[in-house]
Structure 1
Amino acid sequence: MTAEVNSWAFSDTDRAAVYRAIQTRRDVRSHFRPAALPDEVLFRILAAAHHAPSVGFSQPWDFIVVADAVVRQAVKVSFDRENARAAENYEGERHELYQSLKLEGILASAVNVCVTCDRARGGPHVLGRNTVLDADLFSTCLAVQNLWLAARAEGVGVGWVSILAPNDLARLLGLPDHVVPVAYLCLGYVTDFAPTPDLERAGWGERIAVDTLVHRDRWGHPYKHSDDTAAQPLPESPEPPC
Structure 2
Amino acid sequence: MQGGTGAGGAKPEFSQAFQRDFETLLKWRRDVRRFRTDPLPAGALDHLLALADLAPSVGNSQPWRIVIVDSPDKRAGIVACFEAENEAAAGRYDEGMAQQYRQLKLAGLKEAPVHLAVFCDGAPAQGHGLGRATMPETLAYSTVSMIHTFWLAARAEGIGVGWVSILDPHAVGNILKVDAGWRLVAYLCVGFPEEEHIDPELERAHWQARSPLETRLFRR
Instruction: Compute the TM-score of the two structures, normalised by the length of structure 2.
Output: 0.91
Q: Where in structure 2 are there 5+ consecutive unaligned residues?
A: 5-10
Shift of 1:93: 2.2
In structure 1, the partner of 2:68 is 65
For residue 195 of structure 1, report the CA deviation from its aligned partner. Answer: 2.2
Alignment of 1:217-236 (within 5 A): 218=220
Letter in 1 for 2:18: D
CA distance in 2, matches of 1:207, 1:145: 19
Give the match for residue 238 of structure 1.
none
Deviation at 1:207, TM superposition (A): 0.6
Q: Is 1:13 aligned with 2:25?
A: no
Question: C-alpha separation between the residues in 1 aligned to 2:125 and 2:137?
Answer: 14
Q: What amino acid maps onto 1:107 in structure 2?
A: K
Corresponding residue for residue 218 of structure 2: 215
Equivalents in 2 of 1:123, 1:112: separation in Å? Answer: 26
Please name the residue that 2:130 is paired with.
Answer: 127
Match of 2:99 among 92, 96, 100: 96
Which of residues 181, 185, 203 in structure 2 aligns to 1:200? 203
Greater shift after overlay, 10-19 or 56-65?
10-19
**Is structure 2 residue 27 aligned with structure 1 residue 23?**
yes
Aligned to 2:160: 157
Q: Which stretches of structure 1, 4 residues or more, deviate above 4 A after TM superposition?
A: none
Note if contact 1:41-1:154 (Cα within 8 Å) is conserved in structure 2.
Answer: no
1:48 paired with 2:47, answer no
Once the two structures are superposed, the pairs formed by residues 174-193 of structure 1 within 5 Å of their partners are: 174-193=177-196
C-alpha deviations, 1:172-229, integer Å up to 9, x for none? 111111112110000001232212101011111111111232222x2xxxxxxxxxxx
Distance 1:185 1:121 in 2: 22
Q: Cα–Cα, structure 1 residues 37 and 124, in superposed 2: closer, same or farther, change >3 Å?
A: closer
Q: Which residue of 2 aligns with 1:139?
A: 142
Cα distance between partner residues in 2 of 1:211 and 1:80: 37
The one-letter amino acid of 2:149's match is N
**In the TM superposition, what is the alpha-carbon distance from 1:39 to its structure 2 partner?**
3.9
After superposition, give the CA deviation of every residue in 1:75-113 in whole Å (9 maximum; x if it has no partner): 000000000110011113211110100111112001100
Letter in 2 for 1:173: L
Q: Is the 8 A contact 2:59 2:127 kept in 1?
A: no
Other structure's SS at 2:117 match:
strand
What percentage of residue pairs aligned between the two structures are identical?
Answer: 39
- What is the identity, as a one-letter code, of the residue corresponding to 1:141? V
Mark the runs of 5 or more structure 1 residues left unpaired by the alignment: 219-242
The separation in 1 between residues aligned to 2:126 and 2:197, in whole angstroms, is: 43
Aligned partner of 1:20: which letter?
T
Q: In the comparison of the two structures, how many residue pairs are matched?
A: 212
Distance in 2 separating the partners of 1:165 and 1:132: 24
